Amino acid sequence: MAFGASRRFLSHQFRGCFLGRLASCRYHYPLLYPPSPSSALSFLFSTLDEPPNLFDDGVLADRTRNQRSIDERFVISELSDLLLVNPHGSVSNTLNENPSEKQMPIRAVDGFLLPEEKLRGVFLQKLNGKTAIEHALANTDVNLSQDVVNKVLNTGSLGSEAMVTFFYWAIKQPSIPKDTSSYNIILKALGRRRFFDSMMHVLHKMTREGVNANMETVSIVVDSLVKAHQVSKALQLFRNLKEIGLECDTETLNILLECMCRRSHVGAANSFFNLIKGNVPFNAMTYNIIIGGWSRYGRHSEVERILKAMEVDGFSPDCLTYTYLIECLGRANRIDDAVKIFDKMDENGCKPDVNAYNAMISNFICIGDFDECLTYYKRMLSNRCEPDINTYSNLIIGFLKAKKVADALEMFDEMVARIIPTTGAITSFMKLSCSYGPPHAAMLIYKKARKVGCRISKNAYKLLLMRLSLFGKFGMLLNIWNEMQESGYDPDVETYEHVIDCLCKTGQLENAVLVMEECLRQGFFPSRQIRSKLNNKLLDCNRTEMAYKLWLKIKVARHQENLQRCWRAKGWHH
C-alpha cells in the first residue's frame, strides 16, 4: 500500500511539474484556443476515453466522421475570427457588425508573437510596393528600439532587399536615431549574411546622407569582407576610404591588419604591410599586430624579422611584444627560451603584466607541467598582478582536461572569490566536467556559480541533465529542471529526452509515459532511440495497453512532424 501510494503521489507530482507548465510557456495557447475537453490537442493526444475495441469497423467509421466534423467546425471558427466572417450568418450581416467587437480576437492571435517576429512577418505577406510594406510595418503597433531593430535584422531569414527596406523605414521613426550606431547595425547584419553589394550601397548612401563613418564602421565592413575571404575587396576599401570621409592613416591601417591577422590571413597582411611601408606611418601597435599574427603559428623566424624592423624604425618592444614572443616560443616548443625572455622583461624595463603571465601558464599547460603553472600563478599573486578571467580559465580547463578534478575545483573556488565567471566560461567548465566520471564536479561548479550570481546558459543546463540522466540521479535532475525554468529557459526536445531516459533507467515507466505525452503535447518529437527504449521497457513489464496507447499518440505526432517539415521546406514559416 505504501509503495502504491508513493507511486500515485509521484504521478501527481509529475502532472503538476510537467503538465502544469503550459501557463509559463512563451506561446500562451489559451489565448488562441479556450481550454475545453474537446480542444484539438486533447482530442489528438488523450487516450483516456478510447473505445474498448479500436479495430471495430463501425467504431473507426464513427470516429472518422466525428473527427472530420470537429476539425471542420474548429477550422471554420478560427477562420471566421481571423477574416471577420460570421460562420452562422450572411455576408450582409457580417458587414453590419461592429468592427470593434472583432478587434480583440485579432489582437489575441498575434499577441503571443515577439515584436521582432511581428515585424518580420510583414515581409511574409509578399506586399507589392515600398509604401504598402511601410504601412504594414506601421500597423504592427510595436515599440521600436535599436535592440528590436537588431533582432529583426540578425535573426530570421530576410533577404537583403527586405533588410534594407526595413532599416530605412526604421530610421524614419522618432525612436530610432539616424546616426552612425544605427547604420552600424544594418552594416553588420548585411555583412554577416554576406550581402556585400547591399552593404556597400548602404555604406555610400550613409555618407551621402551626412552620417559620418567611424572606426567601428570600418572594422565592421573590413571584418565582414575578410571573414568571407574577400581580402582584395577589403584592401580596395582601405584605399578608397576618402569616399566615406575617412583617411588612410595609422589607425585605419591597424584595423585592417588586425582583421586580416585575426581571420588567419597573416601572410596577406604581412605582404600589404611591406607594400604600404613608407606611404602610411607605422606605430608600435602596427608591428605588434603583425608579430601577434605570426606568433599564433609559432613562426619564430618571422617574428624576429619584424622585431628587427621594429627596432630599426625606432620603436622599443613593450609588454605586448614580449607576450607575443613568449607565446610564439611556446608554440614552437621552445619553453626554455620563453622562460629566458620572461625573466629578462624586468631588465628591459617591461614589468610582466597579466598577459605575459597567462602566456607562460599556457605554455606549461601545453606540455603538461602543472607544477610550473602553479609556480607562475603564485608568482603573479606575490608580484601583486591580479589574475583575470583568462588566467583562471586556462588553469581550470587544463586541470579538467588532465582529469585533475580536485585541483580544478580548488582553482574554481579561488576564481569565484576574486571575480564573477562569465556564462561562456561556466559552460566550458561544465562541458569538460560532464565528459567523464560522475556528475559531482559539474554539480559543485554549477552550485557555486549560481551562488555568486553567475547566469547559467541553457547548454550548461542540458549538459547537467544529460549527465544526471546517465547516472540515474532523478531527484537531482528534477531540481535542475525546475531551476532551469526559473532561469527563464523553456524545455526543448533534448531536455525531455534526458528526463524520459532517466525515468526509464529508474523503472518509473508511468511517469516516463506522462513526460513523453507532455513532450508530444508541446510540439516536440523525441528521437527514435528514446521512443524505442520506452516502448521496449513497457513491453518487458507487460504494459502492452499503455505501450499501444502511447504508440497511437506518437503516430499522430509523427504525422504532425512530417507536416511541419514539409511547411518549412516550402518556406511557410517565419
Which DSSP string corresponds to 393-425? HHHHHHHHHTT-HHHHHHHHHHHHHHSPPPHHH
Say if residue 332's pLDDT is above 90: yes
Q: How far apart are CA 224 and CA 195, in angstroms?
A: 10
| Residue 455, H or E segment | none
Q: What is the dihedral of CA 99, 102, 108, 114, to 10 degrees?
A: -20
Looking at residue 121, what is its pLDDT? 86
Per-residue pLDDT, averaged over 170-184, amounts to 94
Say if residue 2's pLDDT is above 70: no
Say if residue 387's pLDDT is above 70: yes
Say if residue 530's pLDDT is above 80: yes
- Please give the mean pLDDT across all residues of the chain: 83
Looking at residue 114, what is its pLDDT? 85
Label residue 571 by pLDDT band (50, 70, 90).
low
CA atoms within 13 A on the CB side of 251: 9
Looking at residue 156, what is its pLDDT? 80
Q: How far apart are CA 500 and CA 518, in angstroms?
A: 11
Q: Regarding predicted confidence, which is higher, 60 or 285?
A: 285
**Backbone dihedral region of 278: left (phi > 0), alpha (psi from -120 to 50 degrees) or beta?**
left
Looking at residue 563, what is its pLDDT? 81
Say if residue 259's pLDDT is above 90: yes
Label residue 62 by pLDDT band (50, 70, 90).
very low
This prediction has a pTM of: 0.75
Per-residue pLDDT, averaged over 77-85, amounts to 51
The percent of residues above 90 in pLDDT, for the chain, comes to 69
Say if residue 48's pLDDT is above 90: no
CA atoms within 13 A on the CB side of 284: 10
Say if residue 11's pLDDT is above 60: no
Say if residue 548's pLDDT is above 50: yes
Q: How far apart are CA 22 and CA 10, in angstroms?
A: 19
Looking at residue 63, what is its pLDDT? 44
Say if residue 170's pLDDT is above 80: yes
Max Cα distance, the chain (Å)? 97
Say if residue 501's pLDDT is above 90: yes
Q: Regarding predicted confidence, which is higher, 205 or 560?
A: 205
> DSSP E strands: which ranges in 426-543?
none
Q: Regarding predicted confidence, which is higher, 573 or 311?
A: 311
**DSSP letters of 166-209?**
HHHHHTTSTTS--SHHHHHHHHHHHHHTT-HHHHHHHHHHHHHT
